Chains A and B, each alone.
Chain A
Amino acid sequence: MADSKNAGAFVEFERVQKSYDGETLVVKDLNLVMPKGEFLTMLGPSGSGKTTCLMMLAGFETATHGDIRLDGVSINNIPPHKRGIGMVFQNYALFPHMTVAENLSFPLEVRKLGKSEREQKVKRALDMVQMGAFGGRRPSQLSGGQQQRIALARALVFEAELVLMDEPLGALDKQLREHMQFEIKRIADDLGITVVYVTHDQTEAMTMSDRVAVFDDGVIQQLAPPDRLYEAPENSFVAQFIGENNTLEGLVKEIKDGRALVQLDDGELIDCNPINVGVGDRTRVSIRPERVEFNKERLREGTHTINANVLEFIYMGDIFRTRLRVAGNDEFVIKTRNAPDQVRLKPGEQIEIGWLPEDCRALDA
């Protein structure tokens, strides 16, 4: 068993592969290093391999190849119940035949703790999730949000340093989900635990995580803090997957001084920030809707502008969402803040739009 090569690493995946049928790889060559205390989210569409990674870490699936290390020790051959990893399941998996207190007491009982110590820890864990009064209830008598809190408390009660969460908020309604996001984040910070969180909800990933690993097709597409992920996606999958994104397709004409000149398919030329393209490559240009500017005075001198047709104007309260036709793309969206002096575009209007070249990223096609 090789010891960790990365000092300070708490959780490590090294060249991990997983196949269920021996024909296709669900997880392809996964490498991941997490320091202690990090809140890392695995984000991706279903079937991208994120849950499989979590299950391998928990010990419910074995890695076909590679090494998974916890605190520098390989855990490939350690059965799940000896890993000491807390886990919150998608549907909470609270034991229906036990009361809330018994559910929480269960991990302490199997660790053979004394009765008074158990009661004390259960009480503390329940108080932490503000469910102190519910110890005698059955899980079925609790609401979804309450069950969620209990599941969280149960994963934390035996003082696991690593807690895994498999889409724990998936079954809650929107408001409760947002509330629980902050709650989970707060508790994780307070306790200083390391969290691996799996979700397909990008808002959840953005608001909670220190770093987000975007999964697709069994590969981590990008591993970065939320702001980098949003503002500096490294490939077009990440750009598409995280947040709203406008895509224009074209050909890279030249790259000079860190600027790429891209000829769009309808002939227009724009300046872009080349990320992973070379001269002559097909490219997908990605621009965030809120970085598009149609007020010429705010644009930098000499910026390329292109023509756009207003197709639709949607009033959304805090923002205006305007759909345009740009370079043959009918789904080009811009977002503007609802400010007193903001222009409300009307369908049929002809405008010119532009953007800072840094915000316009030329990515792989």
Chain B
Amino acid sequence: MSDATQSGPMLAADGTPLKRSLARALRMQKIRALMLIAPLLLFVLITFILPIGDMLFRSVENQIVRDTLPKTVVALRDWDPASGEAPDEDVYFALAQDLKIAVEAKTHTRLGSRLNYEQTGAASLFRKSGRKVKRMDLENDAPFKEAFVKIDKKWGEPQIWQTIKTYAPAYTNGYFLNSVDMQKGADGPEARPENQRIYIMLFGRTMFMSLVITVSCIMLGYPVAWILANLPMRQANLLMILVLLPFWTSLLVRTSAWKVMLQQQGVINDTLVWLGLVADDARLIMINNQFGTIVAMTHILLPFMILPMYSVMQTIPPSYLRAAKSLGANNWTAFWRVYFPQSVPGIGAGSILVFILAIGYYITPEIVGGTKGVFISNRIAYHISSSLNWGLAAALGTILLAVVLLFYWIYDKIVGIDNVKLGG
């Protein structure tokens, strides 16, 4: 043990610790390397990391209630929702004061839509109340409780107050509860009514269908990759172009082509009817359901499976198979015991790629999925662009991200991430 003979750190020739000396020598190199990647780093930071961070933040952010109704929130602190009674006059007075300001700033409708996510009818309640509150006189119109109940009798019921009180804090787990078909009840989270549950089912369907798509891609892609890897260069290149051809065609065109193929008056059905395999009045329903989504997405994602498999198989020398056969293994044993285990990293890489792409796919399920074949991503898109419930969309997106990371972690535990190869 040579380093045991010298106590303390190793020293360079000039007496400085060797570690520091080395760090100094490498500093310039490190700075230069950092400057080279700086543009990309900035780009990724601005266009990727920050938006994701913002999304994560939005999924819990809930400033709007306490910003719009600051006094009401304070006044509501002493109110006990379990009493089953509407709050006292001072709360109504606070609400009147808050709404007066909010109406001036026109923020009361935004609060209305925010609370509408939690309680249907809140949007119209606030819009209606806003108009009336404008004409209210804070000095003389007391008692405000009666005034508000006159505007809408919902103000006299505890439910709206409970919603306001529940969503008063600046941060909420409400979006996440919502994402897993739960809601904030009077005493903590509770399951939503049966007829309002949708997200768990959608998550489950997304997982299941992505899995089916991944497995179909493995089944269809493996032989193709094998042929690609074992053909002479010229033929392999030609075949490779065929594999890559879908990449060069617009996604929309490909998906629409499947619509043409699969619909009830489409090519496949027409052919089957013409062949007499299917009765004209019993044409198969192959689109706007899960089947259509699986077929179209398998087709679209197939290259992502074939390419990593191909590049891994290319590095497996044919001599392994020959060796196995010379040792007495028949074709199947040689393949299964020798070739297949070495191609697993390719399958792994392809599967991760396809599964993660599938889980977040949006356009294809939207076009060919109908109602039965849509994914969670379609719901997220709906909340972003139609219902404008960005908080819920963010929560759903966060859960999706977490699920992908979880799968990645599981994969790492089972197969090992260093076993993933995208190429030689």
Contact = CB atoms under 8 A, between A and B. Distances in A.
B328 A89 contact: no
A303 B334 CA distance: 66
Interface in A141-169: 154-155, 158, 164
Contact of A80 (B326, B337, B341): B326
Given A96-B342, A97-B342, A106-B337, A81 B320 contact: no
B342 A154 contact: no
B13 interface: no
Contact of B329 (A59, A84, A106): A106
B415 to A, nearest CB: 13
A5 interface: no
B337 A90 contact: no
22 contacts: A58-B322, A79-B330, A81-B325, A81-B331, A84-B328, A86-B327, A89-B319, A89-B323, A90-B319, A91-B319, A93-B317, A93-B319, A93-B320, A93-B322, A93-B323, A94-B323, A95-B338, A106-B324, A106-B327, A154-B327, A158-B328, A164-B326
Contact of B323 (A82, A83, A84, A87): A87
A81 B317 CA distance: 18
B320 A95 contact: yes
Given A93-B317, A97-B341, A110-B333, A80 B323 contact: no
A89 B317 CA distance: 11
Nearest to A111: B328
A85 interface: yes
A79 B329 CA distance: 10
Contacts of B324: 95, 106
B319 A81 contact: no
A182 interface: no
A91 to B, nearest CB: 6
Contacts of A94: 323
Contacts of B334: 81
Contacts of A83: 326
Nearest to A84: B328
Nearest to B320: A93
Residue from A59, A80, A82 having most chain B Cβ neighbours under 10 A: A80
Contact of A86 (B326, B330, B331): B326
SS of B interface (majority): helix
Interface of B: 317, 319-320, 322-331, 333-334, 337-338, 341-342
Contact of A81 (B326, B337, B341): B326
B329 A81 contact: yes
Contacts of B341: 97
B322 A60 contact: yes
B339 to A, nearest CB: 10
A49 interface: no
Nearest to A85: B326
Contacts of B323: 87, 89, 93-95
A87 B341 CA distance: 22
A90 B317 CA distance: 11
Contacts of A58: 322, 326
Contacts of A93: 317, 319-320, 322-323
A233 interface: no
A149 to B, nearest CB: 16
Contacts of A84: 328
Contacts of B327: 81, 86, 106-107, 110, 154-155, 158
A90 B338 CA distance: 18
A304 to B, nearest CB: 54
Contacts of B329: 81, 106-107, 110
A230 to B, nearest CB: 32
A81 B329 CA distance: 6
A301 to B, nearest CB: 60
Contacts of A79: 325, 330
Nearest to A83: B326
Interface in A59-110: 59-60, 79-87, 89-91, 93-97, 106-107, 110
A155 B328 CA distance: 11
Interface string A94-135: 111100000000110011000000000000000000000000
Contacts of B322: 58, 60, 80, 87, 89, 93
Contacts of A97: 341-342
Nearest to B323: A93
A365 B198 CA distance: 91
Q: Please name the 8 residue pairs, one residue from A and one from B, whose CB atoms are nearest each other, closest first.
A: A93-B323, A107-B327, A87-B326, A93-B319, A80-B325, A97-B341, A110-B329, A81-B325
A87 B322 CA distance: 9
B328 A107 contact: yes
B319 A110 contact: no
B318 to A, nearest CB: 9
A70 to B, nearest CB: 14
Residue from B320, B327, B330, B341 having most chain A Cβ neighbours under 10 A: B327
A80 B331 CA distance: 10
Contacts of A164: 326
A333 to B, nearest CB: 39
A39 B334 CA distance: 29
B419 to A, nearest CB: 10
Given A81-B325, A91-B317, A93-B317, 18 more contacts: A58-B322, A60-B322, A80-B325, A81-B330, A84-B328, A85-B326, A89-B323, A91-B319, A93-B323, A95-B323, A95-B338, A96-B342, A106-B324, A107-B327, A110-B327, A110-B329, A110-B333, A164-B326
